[in-house]
Amino acid sequence: MPVLVITGTGTEIGKTVTTAAVAAAALAAGRSVAVLKAAQTGVGPDERGDADEVGRLAGPVTTDELARFTEPLAPGTAARRAGMAPVRPHEVAERAAKLATEHDLVLVEGAGGLLVRFDAAGGTLADAARLLGAPVLVVAQAGLGTLNVTELTARELRRRGLEPAGVVIGSWPATPDLATRCNVADLPEVAAAPLLGALPAGAGALPPAEFRTAAPTWLSPRLHGTWDAEAFRVREAP
């Protein structure tokens, strides 16, 4: 099934912009793409959500959103406080599977980290990925502190019988410090998964046309790009 689940190691690390880059690279390779946001929080009924932002940056993708909750909280908490039905993992899996019958690639973007709860039963994005049998791309921070949360995320995926597809650095600074540069080599080691890309800081602020042209240069061939992990490591590592 042509589904890729995209999770972060936390919030505000570039997960949505990474999803847009993966979508743009796939579109440039001639694939039809759908983007499913499992649960959108912190956005009002008439505001643009993450799936809309992916579409703005990436181009002609099908966008879908299972549920939207106004408060910027974990989906399960936001649903409870709003008195609304929560999103459940089987609903995410069913919607993604339906989209997969109509598109070459379906990108399922989570909310925050892997184990953020969707419902009172403790359902998570990891459960949806397991139901789909889909690989999971981990979007990680570049700097100090990222190794621990990236390794924990990768270990939890494997504990659940899921294999990390790889790691993408969601925001690579223009002037990386020592810890950030060392992480180029350390991230794939702690995750036991390949480094599949690095997005430059501020990529989401680029005009859409520039974003779509540049996106393949930020991602490895596994994600329909031209980015060379080894060349990046040699250039950036201390």
CA–CA gap between residue 76 and residue 86 (Å, rounded): 6
Residue of 15, 37, 68, 212 with catalytic role: 37
**Exposure pattern of 25-61 as b/e (b: 16+ CB <10 Å)?**
bbbbeeeebbbbbbbbbbbeeeeebbbbbbbebbbeb
Q: CA separation (Å) from 66 to 73, 92, 107, 192, 204?
A: 16, 7, 13, 32, 23
**Residues 6 or more apart from 172 whose CB is under 8 A from it?**
142, 180, 198, 199, 200, 201
Q: What is the DSSP letter of 178?
A: H
Helices (H) and strands (E) counted in the chain, each on its own, are: 9, 9
- Give the residues across from 195 on adjacent strands: 167
CA distance 145 to 2: 32
Tokens of 3: 């589904």
Is 98 known to be catalytic? no
Token representation of residue 52: 């809309």
Residues identified as active-site? 37
